[in-house]
Amino acid sequence: MTPIPPFPPTHKPADRPALAPGLRWDVFCRVIDNHGDVGVCWRLSADLAARGHAVRLWIDDASALAWMAPQGAAGVQVLPWRDPLADEVPLDVVVEAFGCDPPAAFVERMAACHAPPLWINLEYLSAEAYVERSHGLRSPQMAGPGRGLDKWFFYPGFTETTGGLLRGAGVALAPSPRALDRPLHLTLFSYDPPGLSAFRDALSTLPGGACVDVTPGWSTRVVQEQLGLALQLAGPTRDGRLTWRALPLVSQPGFDEQLRRSDLNLVRGEDSLVRAIWAGKPLVWQLYPQDDGAHADKLEAFLALYLSGAPTGLAAALSTVWRSWNGLSDDPEAAAAWADLLPPKPLWTVWQHWAHQQAMALSRPSDLVSRLLDFVARHRVASQTV
């Protein structure tokens, strides 16, 4: 594929590039908290670039990319989001991540283009029923700077009738489960799980002990506050049969590999859930807690999907543990469920095989970027035939 030349520092209306073998994309990202939004936008941008497209990633705080993607990516230009971006010419496709609202002046220029770019709102990931109903819907802009344009909703999801999951060309197939011949190895990437103390108690009963790798920031602070363990990068912290290790900040490939090396992954947020699924290992997901309780419905929808067809004992134990981990249940059976799920109990092997099976099943359909490119291609053809 012919390389696409880099963007000039500024564009004028007449400079809008003709369609090349790859398209040119504007991706807008606002960093809210916890780096999940920038993580998704970087994976999207890098995957598009790897397929021959050129991307301008407009971001209001790119500091996390220094450790998340220290090498950058050929074909991705990271630019500061500044208002009003009045001198920039919109490219072929404009993606706003999570309803972040591109600058009004930029949207006005989109509306003024002779052939306006395709405008896509990349939404949050969910297994809830509304995702299938809402994916691909058109939102005519009746007022404001984008008046006269259409915005299209693109919903990531787990089924064929959604936008799919971000994967990336470099993601290897999940390794087959194997028997443990060493202490259980875990990765903890969490918010503030109410059940952390009970989980620690369950780990402490394991005959072979366990090693818990704790990600920096929120997770490290929670371990210190809830468990009284002061973790340091200088070395591990012993806690009876348990060893706790503080991890440094790592790149996205480094984080993905960390999940693949672990036996059990306790993750938070949407991007890390997807990476934990691809790792093919037993996982527990903590959702960002919402004041209105919306995360409860989101969790139940995912449990129904992820555990559909699972052995009854596994489904019951995992449902109990996940609800407790998310603070949605104070079920006294949670401690017993943890004990049943961890090795050497038989359910551990069942859990291992189920996680691997789900990774394989979810990787068979096309991924998010492939579906996004198909979505764009169909709309560009339709616009040219009108």
Can you give the pLDDT at residue 15? 37
The answer to whether residue 160 is catalytic is: no
Q: How many CB atoms lie within 10 A of CB 103?
A: 18
- Positive or negative, the CA dihedral 368, 272, 289, 357 is positive
User: Residue 229: which residues within 8 A CB-CB, separation 6 or more?
Assistant: 223, 237, 239, 244
Can you give the pLDDT at residue 8? 32
- Positive or negative, the CA dihedral 321, 323, 326, 327 is negative
pLDDT tens column, 286-300: 999 888 889 999 999
pLDDT tens column, 198-233: 899 999 999 999 999 999 999 999 999 999 999 999
Q: Is 266 within 8 Å of 325 (Cβ atoms)?
A: yes
pTM comes to: 0.92
- Residue among 37, 123, 263, 367 flagged as catalytic: 37
Inter-axis angle of helices 252-261 and 270-279, to 10 degrees? 50
For the chain, which domains are there?
A: 13-164+367-385 (3.40.50), 184-287+295-362 (3.40.50.2000)
SS3 343: coil
Can you give the pLDDT at residue 50? 96
- Positive or negative, the CA dihedral 308, 313, 314, 317 is positive
The answer to whether residue 270 is catalytic is: yes
* Spans of the chain, pLDDT less than 50: 1-20
Can you give the pLDDT at residue 13? 32
Can you give the pLDDT at residue 386? 58
Give the C-alpha separation, 170 to 252, whole Å. 12
Q: Is 90 within 8 Å of 124 (Cβ atoms)?
A: no
User: What's 15's DSSP letter?
Assistant: G
Give the C-alpha separation, 131 to 108, whole Å. 29
Length of the chain: 386
Can you give the pLDDT at residue 171? 81
- Residue among 270, 271, 340, 367 flagged as catalytic: 270
Q: Is 202 within 8 Å of 339 (Cβ atoms)?
A: yes
